């Protein structure tokens, strides 16, 4: 039952990531996807890593409406 709930949570996070909404939920879903006991590790690990790398890019953070760290230095 817990695996099903977490799987649905990961799916919702993936949809929010695609829509560029809720950065925190998208990042949490990527991290949960990498945990081997939750889902199929063969697919979850590479997609989770890819998601975390992509979410940390400045242009992606801008798409989510987050302030970049360079904005505060000017």
Q: What's the whole-number mean pLDDT along residues 6-16? A: 91
Q: pLDDT band for position 5 (50/70/90)?
A: confident
**Rounded distance, CA 21 to CA 55, Å?**
12
pLDDT at res. 30: 92
Confidence band, pLDDT 50/70/90 cuts, at residue 7: confident
For residue 53, the Cα-to-chain-centroid distance in whole angstroms is 9
- 3-state SS of 41-60? HHHHHHHHHHHHHHHCCHHH
Note the pTM of the prediction, 2 decimals.
0.77
CA distance linking residue 9 with residue 28, whole number of Å: 9
pLDDT digits (tens, 9 = 90+) for 12-55: 999 999 998 899 999 999 998 888 766 566 778 888 899 999 99
Handedness of CA 59, 64, 65, 69 (dihedral sign): negative
């Amino acid at each position: 039952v817990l695996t099903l709930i977490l799987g649905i949570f990961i799916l919702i996070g993936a949809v929010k990531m695609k829509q560029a909404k809720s950065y925190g939920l998208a990042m949490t879903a990527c991290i949960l996807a990498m945990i081997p006991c939750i889902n199929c590790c063969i697919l979850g690990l590479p997609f989770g890593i890819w998601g975390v790398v992509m979410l940390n890019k400045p242009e992606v953070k801008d798409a989510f409406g987050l302030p970049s760290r360079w904005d505060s230095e000017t």
